[in-house]
Amino acid sequence: MVVPWESVVPELRERLGEKNYLAWIDPVEAVPTEGQVLLRVPSVFFQSWIERYFLQTIRTTVERYAGSDCAVRFEVVADRKAVRDEQDKRLAPEPAPKRRAPRIGKLIPHYTFDNFVVGPSNEMAFRTACSVCEKPGKAFNPVFFHGGVGLGKTHLINAIAHEMLRRRGRSVIACLSAENFMNQLITALRQDQMPQFRDRFRRVDALILDDIQFLSGKERTQEEFFHTFNALENGQRQIVLTSDQPPSAIVGIEKRLRSRFEGGLIADIHPPTREMRIAIVHAKAGRKGVDLPPEVAEVLVRRSGVSVRELEGALNRVVGMADVRSVPLTVELANDALGPLDSFRAAVSVEAIQQTVSHRFGLQIADLTSRRRGRQVSFPRQIAMYLSRTVAQASYPRIAQEFGNRDHTTVMYAVRAIEDRRSRDAAVDQVLVGIEAELREN
């Protein structure tokens, strides 16, 4: 007997729950034949997840309608983009209008799903993100992504925002850092504009906040965010959050907020595998118009850490050296460009960095560890924190302790700020290159 899949779906939906059904069953193409049901899935990971958690329920439901034993088989469809395109056609999203889509915060243009490299370490997060775009506020709400620095969280949430705007162009999307959210709150408080602030954030169709751990210890900001969170959740508006830690590990977050974070779907992002990192570096080279030889890609992966940002930095250094010398990309060139970076990391300490930076800027180490906030101290302090992270590879809590027992979010802000300035300002990059060279010499 051939079981009509459309008859099985309502019971599966009820037995598995709406969220599980939308995330794992709805995207699957079912092909019933005599005595079996073929499920076409987009990846091996997708298949293994269904087999582990839902296969028994699917099998018993199908057999109840068939009246006899019925096999359930899987077929992995290799072309992920084709599967997604087919899902888009079935969902028939509203075409985006020609006018500029409203949004709060600036999106990174090239951080989209199309160039997000997917593998075992991030597929759960990727699938969750896709489900969020298909049914915002209904599939999973809230969604909480967590993982180490430079593993793709910011890329993923930007991709969600881009995809939501593509599908539903009239949506109002707020995609910004938790720090930006707090700064806007402070401005509203100072200017007596809290009604406008609340109206702005509580009427969005999706609120996407990066680095939510930045709110740690910020009681007034947490209070306002709590009420914003409730208003959006009650209105079935999508909430997406990221952090470098799971909710249970974030210190300084109120229990009521933590419980709401844990009430949604939590997806972690692990460091990419070697194969993923090779795919990532090729993808990034392709966007630069660089034909990257496989053997050079191997060197980049081997000589870089697990962070995607570090991998991209290594690629930029190698490509930059090839451009300056007007020579092709080779293994020898890559080793030459990367050699200074990884040969001295293990020997550099936070204390050595503090000493070098303070000497460079005419300060005392005590100035860097003090609470002084003037630019003549704050900028060198941020430089020293950035180098402590990127060169000495010290943890955020360790750096915070070495710089006057500060909060680790202060260190995170400093690293991000210098990283951003280095990419935009050649003068800042030259300062850093000079200090790195001095550290090597010492």
E-strand ranges in 143-263 read 143-147, 173-177, 206-210, 238-243
pLDDT of 83 reads 43
Count, residues in the chain: 442
Terminal-to-terminal C-alpha distance of the chain: 78
Helix (H, G, I), strand (E, B) or coil at 243: strand
Beta bridge partners of 210: 177
- Residue 129: predicted pLDDT: 92
Query: Residues 112, 287: contact at Cβ < 8 Å?
Result: no
> Could you give the C-alpha distances from 68 to 34, 60, 160, 225, in angstroms and in order?
11, 10, 43, 54
Measured CA to CA, the distance from residue 121 to residue 93 in angstroms comes to 29
Those residues with Cβ within 8 angstroms of residue 312's Cβ, 6 or more apart along the chain or in another chain: 281, 284
Encode the chain (442 residues) as per-residue pLDDT tens digits. 676 777 788 888 878 777 677 777 888 888 877 778 888 887 776 787 788 778 888 888 888 777 777 888 888 875 444 444 544 444 444 444 444 445 577 888 888 988 888 887 888 899 899 988 988 888 788 999 998 777 889 999 999 999 999 888 778 999 999 988 999 999 988 888 999 999 999 999 999 999 999 899 899 999 999 999 999 999 999 999 999 889 988 888 999 999 999 988 999 888 777 778 888 888 888 888 888 999 999 888 877 766 787 788 888 888 888 888 888 899 888 888 887 555 445 568 899 999 999 998 999 999 999 988 888 899 999 999 999 988 888 889 999 999 998 988 899 999 988 887 876 666 776 687 678 767 766 6
Domains of the chain: residue spans and CATH: 5-82 (3.30.300.180), 103-269 (3.40.50.300), 274-343 (1.10.8.60), 345-441 (1.10.1750.10)
Q: What is the pLDDT of residue 241?
A: 95
Handedness of CA 189, 195, 196, 197 (dihedral sign): positive
pLDDT value for 209: 93
Number of neighbours of residue 249 by Cβ within 10 angstroms: 12
Element (H, E) at 156: helix 153-167
Residue bearing tokens 């630069």: 288
Q: Judging by beta carbons within 10 Å of its beta carbon (0-12, 13-18, 19+), is residue 145 exposed, middle or buried?
A: buried
Q: What is the pLDDT of residue 95?
A: 45
Residues 6+ apart with CB under 8 A from 33: 2
Residue 88: what are its φ and ψ, rounded to 5°?
A: -60, -40
**C-alpha distances out from residue 147 to 210, 242, 302, 429, Å:** 12, 8, 21, 27
Radius of gyration of the chain (CA): 25
Residue 378: strand, helix, or coil: helix
pLDDT of residue 82: 46
Q: State the pLDDT at residue 90.
A: 41
Q: Cβ(239)–Cβ(142) under 8 Å?
A: yes
Confidence (pLDDT) at 51:
82
